[in-house]
Structure 1
Amino acid sequence: MRLTVLVDNVALTDRYFLAEPGLSLYLEDGGTRVLFDAGYSDILIANARKMGIDLLRVEDIVLSHGHLDHTWGLDALIRLHTEAIIEGRERIEPTFIAHPDAFLTRSRDGIGEIGCHLSVEELFRHGKVLLTAAPLWLTENLVFLGEIERRFEFEQVPPGGYIYTPDGIRDDAIVDDTALACRTPEGLVIVTGCSHAGICSIVEQAREVCGEDRVADVIGGFHLEKPQPEQMQGVLDYFSEVQPAALHPCHCTGLAAKITLSKVADVRETGVGLHLEYG
């Protein structure tokens, strides 16, 4: 499996790419190409083009959850595909994969929409849409983990904002938050968006779904920007036990959390332009 960071809060030193508070990762497993999240704006298009990655050949566009810093870049992808059709260029019609709640309207702190502003109906005009709360295997080794079971008390945080459902408005527990996991010869590679469900709960679900305890790497947002002491200690204890070979925390992971995690694991630098290969 190969992975490239297209969008993150920072770019690697001496790599002249664009960065923003958002996330988008490009994966290849065998002959299957996957885009995990789309960032906030159109910078994933410019970064991918500069890296020689053809986003028109991506089969699956997977969303970790519905927040704007992971979904608003879909506008740019739709424009890219629309122009390709108009210009007669080759493209693959993508399949959009997400939890059923990922496209519901969300609000917080007086902001009218912090979720994806594209509806499922609109996406259907641009490709296939597959919504599932259950795990879904994309390849023989790569799986969409579905709705995450929240297993650890120390990861429980109060709901932030509201979500607008067909049954009315409710507190937003971000139940659509999910991740990918890939089986490799070295163990699992787990790819996260923001880990609102809890980074430890995500890793546990990946180990359970894949039937593999070894963790080769976890890359993505850990949602540890300003964690409470008990949450940080719980995460620290968990990774001390799991002993991942490497961690690549980025996006919504604060510097203090990275420093703390480095006491129990090999924490490595992450940013736009990073390219990793496993197995």
Structure 2
Amino acid sequence: MKVTALTENRSSGDLLGEHGLSVYIEYQGKKYLLDTGSTGLFLENAKKLGIEIAEVDTAFLSHVHYDHSGGFGAFFEVNKKASVYLQTDAGRGRYYKITDSGEKYIGIPEGLLDTYRERFVFVDGNLSCGEGIHLLAHHTPGICARAEKAHMYHKVAGTVKVDDLKHEQSLIFETRKGLVILNSCCHAGVDVVVEEAQHAFPEKPIQAVIGGFHLMGSDGADTMAGTREDIVALAERLTQLGDFLIYTGHCTGMPAFEILQQELGKRIAYFSTGTRVIL
């Protein structure tokens, strides 16, 4: 299994970065895409890396935020065959930090689901979508508290409510050494995501976790939400959960990553644009 970061917040060499994440995966002779970043930039980076996006067999949307779904229009123009799997709750509008003065829409590009409806496969909960490939939806009670802390909301019949994270899903691959979990932002918490995978596959160890951990502050990837103690506690929790590898970036933010690296050492690496991981 080979995993490549096509787009991530940090640039690398002649590759360009943006706020977002797009991941290309080669597994058992087939090609997969998880998310498309904010724009069509992932296509340019893929070309420089010698990756043919037109050959992607299947795609997945981890959740409906713009920085993961914004490039799907460009994807459909290049790739004419791949279906895109996403949770059925994806159609609801998502907003950030709704206050008395207004709201900021952060959802999937408006009109995309209707324009390309035949390309989307809506999933209600968990799904095995190929040999050794699984989609895992959230089942942990109380995760709305994490969404509220992150100022994430949605609208239900015109009423603003805390995001229930039902649009988010983990993509899991089985390898000889265990499970590889990809969750692009881990809004419920990376520890929760790992626990959910362990409960769903109790007989299989976790080999690696790849994705953002939503630890950056509201002012971008060079800031941090919470305290150093919070990040150290998360590192301790991840250690308790197992000795798996961790590749993270995007919404983790550099300050939090540096603390995690101090605590976890060689277990963790930054998953920057152009990074290739063989598992």
Shorter-chain TM-score tier: 0.7 to 0.9
Unaligned runs of 5+ in 1: 82-90
- Closer/same/farther in 2, CA of residues 157 and 106 from structure 1, 3 Å limit: closer
1:165-187 CA distances to partner (integer Å, 9 max, x unpaired)? 45744332433222212222222
Partner of 1:240: 239
What's the offset of the Cα at 1:233? 4.2
What's the offset of the Cα at 1:34? 1.4
Aligned positions of 1:9-20 closer than 5 A = 9-12=9-12, 15-20=13-18
Aligned positions of 1:223-234 closer than 5 A = 223-225=214-216, 226-229=224-227, 231-234=230-233
How many residues were matched structurally? 264
Q: Structure 1: how far apart are the matches of 2:104 and 2:253? A: 27
Unaligned runs of 5+ in 2: 217-223
- Which residue among 130, 133, 157 is the counterpart of 1:139? 130
Partner of 1:250: 249
What's the offset of the Cα at 1:161? 4.3
Partner of 2:219: none
1:123 aligns with 2:116: yes
Aligned positions of 1:43-82 closer than 5 A = 43-81=41-79
Question: What amino acid is aligned across from residue 249 of structure 2 in structure 1?
Answer: C
Q: Structure 2: how far apart are the matches of 1:153 and 1:174? A: 7
1:31-69 CA distances to partner (integer Å, 9 max, x unpaired)? 332110110011111111121212122222211111110
Partner of 1:196: 187
Partner of 1:86: none
Q: Structure 2: how far apart are the matches of 1:104 and 1:199? A: 24
Partner of 1:3: 3
| TM-score scaled by length of structure 2 | 0.84
Q: Structure 2: how far apart are the matches of 1:144 and 1:48? A: 24
Partner of 2:276: 275
> Which structure's residues are more often strand, by fraction?
2
What's the offset of the Cα at 1:30? 0.9
What's the offset of the Cα at 1:227? 3.7
1:103, 1:119 within 8 Å by CA — same for their partners in 2?
no
